[in-house]
Structure 1
Amino acid sequence: MDAELTALAAAGATALVQSMVGDGWTHARERVVGFFTRRRAGNGDGADGAAVAVAGELDEAREELVAARDAEDADTAADVQAEWRNRMRRALRDDPEAAAELRVLLDELAPDGGEEGRGGSVRNSISGGVQHGNVIQAHTVGDVTLG
């Protein structure tokens, strides 16, 4: 496998692992399930069986990753990332069309090529005087009671 595809697999695994602990996990999970399902559906599971299997594997990996991050266990976190990097490398090796799909997926998970995951980063500032009330700057706000 050439260096470009190896780097693509590594970038994909990095974006996936970052998404696992980020706010965009639900979307990222659906997209990654789709990516791997298209490659596993021909093994006799059928598309539904493959989707359930991949979703379960992703959920298990996310649980391991969250527990590892909580315990400050860098080795386990690295193992989770290495596992998905290897799976992506195999997908790229086995299916020539997978590279283009993984690039699109990577653009969705890390649109700025950065570490923020889906949606990028947001920087807000307030200027122009004194604010005499509550100011809330957020991507999503739910069930807020002020005062």
Structure 2
Amino acid sequence: MDPEVLAQTAGTTVVALMATDAWQRTRDGVVALWRRARPAQADEIDTALEETREEILTSRREGDSAGAEDLERDWRRRLRRLLAADPSVARELEEVLAQARASLPEVEQPSVPSVRMHAQASGNARVYQAGRDQHIVER
């Protein structure tokens, strides 16, 4: 999976799993990734995960979807930097999240966000598609 897509998916999934019974398994797996790739940051990440869990539980109780989105963005950014520093952890990250999701009953499994695009152009038509930001400057 593309590292950017994986970071997006993983950030959302990690935060979603924080409010489930699979949280401990998820936390342990994510911290283990950091211990392997960036050992000096592992304890900090462990603390950040626990703090984020408290925040997501509060956000969900209060119906604060904007707060939850901010937390997801934060973890997408952290995971993007981890994957950039050590692309070899990508497969392990996918496995940690897949195992955590699979440990939950199907109705409790967080969905895995995906983007699917299809375009068809003909003649002089132009198609612009993006899974994230897109800036087009035509002159």
**Which residue does 2:58 correspond to in 1?**
67
Tell which has more relative contact order, 1 or 2 (C-alpha 8 A, sep 6+): 2
Q: Pick one of 26, 29, 38 that aligns with 2:27.
A: 29
**Which residue does 2:86 correspond to in 1?**
95
Question: How many residue pairs align between the two structures?
Answer: 107
What are structure 2's unaligned runs of at least 5 residues?
Answer: 108-139
Is 1:121–2:112 an aligned residue pair?
Answer: no
Is 1:85–2:76 an aligned residue pair?
Answer: yes
Provide the rounded CA distance (Å) in 2 between the counterparts of 1:24 and 1:79: 21
Provide the rounded CA distance (Å) in 2 between the counterparts of 1:99 and 1:26: 20
Structure 1 residue 54 displacement after superposition: 1.8
CA 91–51 in structure 1, closer or farther in 2 if over 3 Å, else same: closer
Q: Which amino acid aligns with 1:67?
A: T
What are structure 1's unaligned runs of at least 5 residues?
Answer: 112-117, 123-147
Is 1:76–2:76 an aligned residue pair?
Answer: no
RMSD of aligned residue pairs (Cα, Å): 1.8
Structure 1 residue 101 displacement after superposition: 1.4
Provide the rounded CA distance (Å) in 1 between the counterparts of 2:13 and 2:100: 6
Runs of 4+ residues deviating >6 angstroms: none
Q: What percentage of residue pairs aligned between the two structures are identical?
A: 33
- Pair member with larger Rg: 1
Q: Secondary structure at the match of 1:22?
A: coil
Structure 1 residue 12 displacement after superposition: 1.0
Query: TM-score, with normalisation over the residues of structure 1?
Result: 0.66
Query: TM-score, with normalisation over the residues of structure 2?
Result: 0.69
